[in-house]
Amino acid sequence: MVRRVSGLGESWRFRVSNAAIGIALSAGFSTLARADTLNEALVKAYQSNPQINASRAQQRATDENVPQALAGYRPQIVASLSAALQPVRNLLPDNTIQTATLKPWTIGVTVTQNLFNGFKTANSVRVAEFQVLSGREALRNTGQGVLLDAVTAYMNVIANQALVETQRGNVSFLRETVGITKKRLDAGDVTPTDTAQAEARLSRGLADLNAAEVALESSRAIYAQVIGNPPVNLSPAQTVDRFVPRSRQEAVDNSIRDNPAVIAASYDVDVATTTISVAESSLLPQLNVQGNVNRSVQSDTTLGTTRTDQASVVGALTVPIYDGGTAASQTRQAKETAVQSRLVLEQVRNQARTAAISAWVSSEGTKVALSAAEAEVKSANIALQGVRREAQAGQRTTIDVLNSQQDLTAARSRQILAQRDRVIASYTLLSAVGRLDVRTLGLNTPDYLPDVHYHQVRDAWHGVRIPSGR
């Protein structure tokens, strides 16, 4: 026998309205006040994230490898100054002893210029330049990672806020259902079982709400870590489908060609290959020319003062014969490192290909999941309205209404998560093909250009201050 529960009709009518509001909230991630946009959050992360700023500092340090290598073309100039006290005791022809204390000092300048070192300097410069190019791609890869982390943090906060609101609506519905069921129990229209079932669902709803609130606070903390400030009134975010490839094969091709990790690995191969030539240079002759100018002075009140001026130019050719096997070992080591770098490049290419396919499939899959979730919410809402009408007619019980409400809440949650995943997946695909950057997204912030610092220090012959003034 089906028990009538018509007394719940007005409450359900009110809650169905709330359900519609909840769906709209989760679907559009609406906010009441002026909201921060995803692009604004990305700008903050791009400007202030510690990880990306540390990577920029690392790249500026790598730039200094080039002027250090270029120093091999330049003369080495050393000034020297020495002074001493030199006691002197002389036996004169008349058998008298003469004593004195000389105060010699010497000042000089030595200039050394390398003329040939087995092309070590030229190859060292090439190695340093390849290191700079590799570092720039590594920096670009770090930037992509930070921006993707920012997107994920942003969308997690929005999704978790919507999930909390959904669970709050569910708890409110269950609280009122428990109250009305108790009144119906007092009137003899329902059994204690109905009341117990409603109370059990309320307890579960409170637990789900608590879990949602915990997840929200955790996502807010991660947001502050990645973006640099706590989230405030976040606005809805859109996908970046207009920037991503139109086919899976295009995504794969772009990832192998444009992914910064792949490009960085290819420059690492150039570094390792050129390092072989640097090591081999130690096996070749070296030619240097050295000029020296100095003045030596010796003075004493007894012996008087003597002064000597000297100048010299010396050419030196050195030919390595045997160094214990160090140079040979370094050459062999460099060759093995080059083999390793080629294998790493192939591995990185495979990883980029896999990441692009995974990102493409995931992006396409989220489209289907979101469409299905939206349809499920619509159907669940219709079902709840139908169950309410049937309950008013005495054809449904309290548990039927509770089950229908539970289905709707679960459907809303899946829709919220599907919307989140849809946005994140589009940015993930953009990152996989190497296009997640300031220029592609059109962010309102100057793009960090590493070549600016490079050209500031490349030909710097002197000075210990960095271009920023520190």
* pLDDT one-digit tens code per residue, 371-381: 999 999 999 99
Instruction: Please tell me the least confidently modeled range out of 1-15, 59-73, 181-195, 371-385.
Output: 1-15
Q: Which residues on neighbouring strands pair with residue 310, listed in sequence order?
A: 294
Residue type, 113: Q
Name the DSSP class of 324.
T
**Among candidates 54, 49, 147, 59, which has minimal Cα distance to 443?**
147
Q: Tens digit of pLDDT for each residue in 262-277? A: 999 999 999 999 999 9
**CA quadruple 177, 180, 186, 187: dihedral sign:** negative
In this prediction, residue 102 carries a pLDDT of: 73
Amino acid letter for position 10 = E
Q: Flag whether 467 is in a domain.
A: no
Nearest alpha carbon to residue 356 among 436, 262, 438, 428: 428
Of residues 104 and 43, more confidence is placed in 43
| Domain-embedded: residue 99 | yes
pLDDT at 470 over 60: yes
What pLDDT, on the 0 to 100 scale, is given for residue 134?
Answer: 97
Task: Find residue 110's DSSP bridge partners.
Answer: 78, 292
Does residue 6 have a pLDDT over 60?
A: no
Q: Are 312 and 292 in contact (CB under 8 A)?
A: yes
* pLDDT for position 98: 66
Q: Is 373 among the domain residues?
A: yes
Residue 158 has pLDDT above 80, yes or no: yes
Contacts of 163 (CB under 8 A, 6+ apart): 212, 215, 216, 413, 416, 417
Looking at the 3D structure of the chain, how many domains does it have?
A: 1
Tell me what pLDDT residue 10 has. Answer: 38
C-alpha to C-alpha distance for 236 and 234, rounded to whole angstroms: 7
Average pLDDT over residues 100-107: 80
Element (H, E) at 304: strand 304-318
Residues 442, 234: Cα–Cα separation, whole Å: 19
What pLDDT score was predicted for residue 186?
81
**Pick from 147-151, 234-238, 426-430, 458-462: least confident:** 458-462
Residue 441 has pLDDT above 90, yes or no: yes
Q: Is the pLDDT of residue 393 over 60?
A: yes
Q: Which domain holds residue 341?
A: 6-457
- 463 lies in some domain: no
d(CA 455, CA 126): 16
Residue 216 lies in a domain: yes
Provide the token pair at 181.
Answer: 């069921």
CB-hemisphere CA count at 13 Å for 291? 5
pLDDT band, very low/low/confident/very high, at 150 (cuts 50, 70, 90):
very high
Q: What is the DSSP letter of 354?
A: H
Look at 91-100, 233-242, 318-327, 440-449 and tell me which has the smallest mean pLDDT. 91-100
Residue 269 · residue 341 · CB < 8 Å: yes
User: Rounded to an integer, what distance in angstroms lies between the CA atom of residue 222 and that of residue 208?
Assistant: 21
**Cβ atoms of residues 416 and 374 within 8 Å:** no
Confidence grade of residue 442 (pLDDT, cut at 50, 70, 90): very high
Q: In degrees, to the nearest 5, what angle opens at C-alpha 142 toward C-alphas 153 and 452?
A: 125
DSSP code of residue 447: P
What residues pair up with 290 in beta bridges, in sequence order?
112, 314
Decide if 13 is inside a domain. yes
pLDDT tens string 119-138: 999 999 999 999 999 999 99
Percentage of the chain beyond pLDDT 90 is 71
Decide if 408 is inside a domain: yes
Task: Provide the residue count of the chain.
Answer: 470
Of 170, 183, 184, 177, which Cα lies nearest the Cα of 199?
177
Helix (H) / strand (E) element for 236: namely none
- Compare 98 and 455 and report the one with higher pLDDT: 455
pLDDT greater than 90 at residue 182: no
Under a CB-based contact definition with an 8 Å cutoff, are residues 229 and 44 in contact? yes
Farthest-apart Cα atoms in the chain, separation:
147
CB 415 within 8 A of CB 377: yes
Give the tens place of pLDDT for each residue, 281-337.
999 999 999 999 998 887 766 666 788 889 999 999 999 999 899 999 999 999 999
- Calculate ∠ Cα 77-79-80, nearest 5°: 145
CB distance 265 to 341 below 8 Å: yes
Q: What is the mean pLDDT of residues 23-39?
A: 54
The answer to whether residues 243 and 440 touch, using CB atoms and an 8 Å cutoff, is yes
Which CATH number do you get for residue 74?
A: 1.20.1600.10
Taken in order 94, 99, 103, 108, the sign of the CA dihedral is positive
Region 380-400: mean pLDDT is 84
- Whether residue 156 is predicted with pLDDT greater than 60 in this model: the reply is yes
Q: pLDDT value at position 303?
A: 60
The confidence score (pLDDT) of residue 11 equals 38
pLDDT band at 410 (very low <50, low <70, confident <90, very high): very high
**Under 8 Å CB-to-CB from 455, ≥6 apart: which residues?**
none
**Per-residue confidence (pLDDT) for residue 305, from 0 to 100:** 72
In a domain, 252, yes or no: yes
What is the three-class DSSP state of 404? helix
